[in-house]
Chains A and B, each alone.
Chain A
Amino acid sequence: MSARGGHDWLGYAFAFGGAVCYGTASPLLKIGLRDYGSILTGITIALATGLLAVAPLAFAAWHGQGPGWRPERRATLFVLASGCTALLGFGSNTFALSQLPVVVVAPISSTYPLITVFLVRVFLRHSEVITRRTAIGAVLIVLGVICVTLSQR
């Protein structure tokens, strides 16, 4: 089931595509940090490259909305805030890993889907339905990821 109703297989394909990309980038990032050092400069290069590459798609999406279209200010602010919190997540996780072993950090940081479920339940309950299966599924995924991460220590 999806926010649009019914099984949105393209939506699931995008979600798994995202997981594959993040899962592939993570070890590449570790190698990059080991070989080249500075996380801040490295991430800035990665962000600048990503932004340059996405710019033509973003402009095309803007023009695709029709003449005279302007993004809503409120929506833009939400997405800007999303960019800030994504960086907060990434930066805090990297900092935590520099201070504590992964066996301590991973079980805490990988609980983020549960925080999303909680926030959706509180703030988006009128627009997004969370079934019991979704909530239990999120818990199982978090437990599984914790086991997988701990198995590598």
Chain B
Amino acid sequence: MGFIGALLAALGWGTDSVLARQGLRSLPPALATGISLCASLAICLIAIAIVGPARFPLAGIAWFGMIGLINFLLGRQFNFRATKRLGAARTSALLATSPLVSIGLAVLLAGEQVTPLLLLGVLLSVSGVILVVGG
């Protein structure tokens, strides 16, 4: 089941930009962001109605609220603005570099070790970005 989950994740994220690109032909990105968040939220609310909500302390609500601002208000809106301007393929490839940011933060803030495999990965990704941007 986990393997199918990983495949569905690739399929979901891979399809997301293509569908958004079609909608963004006539919708402004901010409005499209709002509409797409409505769809995602509706599904979550249906799921919560079925399984019931978990108890969250105020700090937890604030924490996930902050994630919402970073990931959905900014992240998805930047994603849609880029998709409208660059197209789905380029945007999807550039957004895929996000784990580099996560691990860059881990190296800078948590002092995680820089390994040869990490350096190879960064080199490959940066080469890919240069090709995508220059292509």
Contact = CB atoms under 8 A, between A and B. Distances in A.
Given A23-B98, A44-B48, A147 B120 contact: yes
Nearest to A140: B128
Given A115-B14, A147-B120, A2 B87 contact: yes
Nearest to B124: A144
Contact of B12 (A89, A136, A152): A89
Main secondary structure of the interface of B (DSSP, over half): helix
Contacts of A3: 84-87, 90
B131 A99 contact: no
In the complex, which range does the number of interface residues on chain B fall in?
Answer: 35 or more
Nearest to A41: B54
Contact of A128 (B88, B101, B126): B88
Interface of A: 1-4, 7-8, 10-12, 14-29, 31-32, 35-38, 40-51, 53-55, 57-58, 60-62, 64-65, 71-72, 75-93, 95-100, 104-106, 108-120, 123-124, 128, 130-134, 136-152
30 contacts: A1-B135, A8-B85, A11-B91, A14-B78, A17-B82, A18-B75, A18-B79, A19-B94, A41-B53, A44-B53, A45-B56, A45-B64, A51-B38, A61-B29, A75-B22, A82-B36, A92-B5, A92-B8, A92-B12, A96-B4, A96-B8, A104-B3, A104-B6, A116-B88, A124-B87, A134-B90, A136-B131, A137-B132, A141-B93, A151-B115
